[in-house]
Amino acid sequence: MSERKIRVLVAKPGLDGHDRGAKVIARALRDAGMEVIYTGLRQTPEMIAAAALQEDVDAVGISILSGAHNTLCPRIVGLLRERGMDDCLVLVGGIIPQEDVPRLKEQGIAQVFLPGTSTEDIVRFLRENVRPRV
């Protein structure tokens, strides 16, 4: 039996239209053999959680550059947990001040990727941390 591919939802919540990073990462994850679903722009936390459930993803990668991360990230994590997606990893990347990182992690964000991150580091993190499923 072949190993199940890691499935990732790349999500852009909020009003921010800067999607260069989200698209580069979506393609890098695909090139690394993962299945990637990109939500498109300006998704509400509810839309993102619904898409994650419907697509049965192992991880959600949130891209935020607008400064709205403290409002939006915990809400997305909360909605995923409400839907029983307890093992779904939630990652955030974008313009996030270092001092916000501990709070985001306490709120259930598995990892925060700051500017300058290599896409290879994100691939490696997902491979090491996604819980294998049967």
Partner 1 sequence: MSETKHLTSRAQEALERWEQETLQPVLRKRPESKERFETVSLDSVERLYTPVDTEEIDYEQDTSFPGEFPYTRGIHPTGYRGKLWTMRQFAGFGTPEETNARFKYLMAQGQTGLSVAYDLPTLMGYDADSQLSEGEVGKCGVAVSSLADMETLFDGIPLESVTVSQTINAPASVLLAMYLVVAEKQGADWKKISGTLQNDILKEYIAQKEWIYPIRPAMKLVVDTFEFCTKYVPKYNPISVSGYHIREAGATALQELAFTLRDGIEYVQWGVDAGLNVDEFVPRISFFFNAHNDFFEEIAKYRAARRIWSRVMRERFNARDPRTMQLRFHTQTAGVSLTVQQPLNNIVRVAIQALAGVLGGTNSLHTDAYDEALALPTDEAALIALRTQQIIAEETGVVNTIDPLGGSYFLESLTKKMEDGALDYFAKIDAMGGMVEAIEKGYPQREIQESAYQYQKAVERNEQIIVGVNKYRIEDEKQMSVLVIDEAVRDRQVEKLQGVRARRDEGAVANALEKLKRAAQAGDNTMPATIEAVRAYATLGEICSALRDVYGIYEEPAF
Which residues of the shown chain bind partner 1 in the complex (CB under 8 A)? 14-20, 23-24, 27-28, 40-42, 44, 66-68, 70-72, 95, 97-99, 114-116, 118-120
Angle at CA of residue 106, ends 115 and 18, nearest 5°: 30
Tokens of 57: 């993803």
Q: How many CB atoms neighbour CB 86 within 10 A?
A: 9
Nearer residue to partner 1 within complex by CB, 116 or 132: 116
Handedness of CA 1, 87, 89, 16 (dihedral sign): positive
Question: Would you say 44 or 129 has its CB closer to partner 1?
Answer: 44
- Min dist CB 94 to partner 1, Å, is 11
Q: Shortest distance, CB of residue 99 to partner 1, whole angstroms?
A: 7
Residue closer to partner 1 by CB (options 84, 116) is 116
Instruction: State the nearest-atom distance from the C-beta of 64 to partner 1, in Å.
Output: 9
Across the beta sheet with 59-64, what order do the strands follow?
35-38, 7-11, 59-64, 89-94, 111-113
Nearest distance in Å: CB 87, partner 1: 27
Closer by beta carbon to partner 1, 72 or else 91:
72
CB closer to partner 1 out of 16 and 58: 16
Phi–psi pair at 9, nearest 5 degrees = -100, 120
Q: How many CB atoms lie within 10 A of CB 28?
A: 16
Shortest Å distance, C-beta 44 to partner 1 = 8
